Amino acid sequence: MAEEVRLPLLGEKLPSFEAKTTKGVFKIPDDFKGKWLVIFSHPADFTPVCTTEFVAFQKRIEKFKELNAELIGLSIDQVFSHIKWVEWIKEKLGVEIEFPIIADDTGAIAKLLGMIHPGKGTNTVRAVFVVDPDGIVRLILYYPQEVGRNMDEILRVLKALQISDKYGVATPANWPENELVKDNVIIPPASDESTAKERLEKAAKGEFECFDWWFCHKKL
């Protein structure tokens, strides 16, 4: 019986692999230790939706770098196809793709990361893995082949993860434009009675705001 390969789970180490890319060979995630990684797959080179996505990622590459994050693309294509496609994008659209693209021509990496959907043939779906500087998978997004991604949302969740790690808080829906608390962050709920009482006392002093002891929020 063939060994089952499952999707990496949140909180697990990203499986290590060596990848041939348009920028050379990398050991992932080892060669990017200390940086956040945004690894994203696309169905195929020379396709319209994928082209719009690559342009959108490149247009925001400095914003990703400001968050100490590196972009890495992937599809089940050979490296010469990636190179030719990147040349086409630069020549026809005036955009130079600066991030590496993994040439997963055997499909081994896509299978390792669960990027191939059984109902969609042998192409990869539009998967996104956000990996932290310690190589831990922190977020996974999946889109069908027919729907392009929102890169601003990927930037948003990357920033939210970093703020959560740094300050020990959570971010609300649509943060930083939440309908209830605007750009405030959420203080984790109290886990005992004394802390619950203390929350309301601190709120009364103006240290932060609370709808109740279990729903408190504050400015960063």
Which residues are marked as active site?
Answer: 50
Q: Residue 19: which of 113, 89, 158, 123 has the closest Cα?
A: 113
In angstroms, rounded to a whole number, what is the distance separating the alpha carbons of residues 42 and 86?
14
Q: Which helix (H) or strand (E) covers residue 85, if one does?
A: helix 79-93
Q: How far is CA 213 from CA 168, 169, 199, 209, in A?
A: 17, 15, 6, 10
In angstroms, rounded to a whole number, what is the distance separating the alpha carbons of residues 103 and 98?
15
- Under 8 Å between Cβ of 52 and 59: no
What token pair was written down for 31? Answer: 């060669």
In angstroms, rounded to a whole number, what is the distance separating the alpha carbons of residues 73 and 171?
27
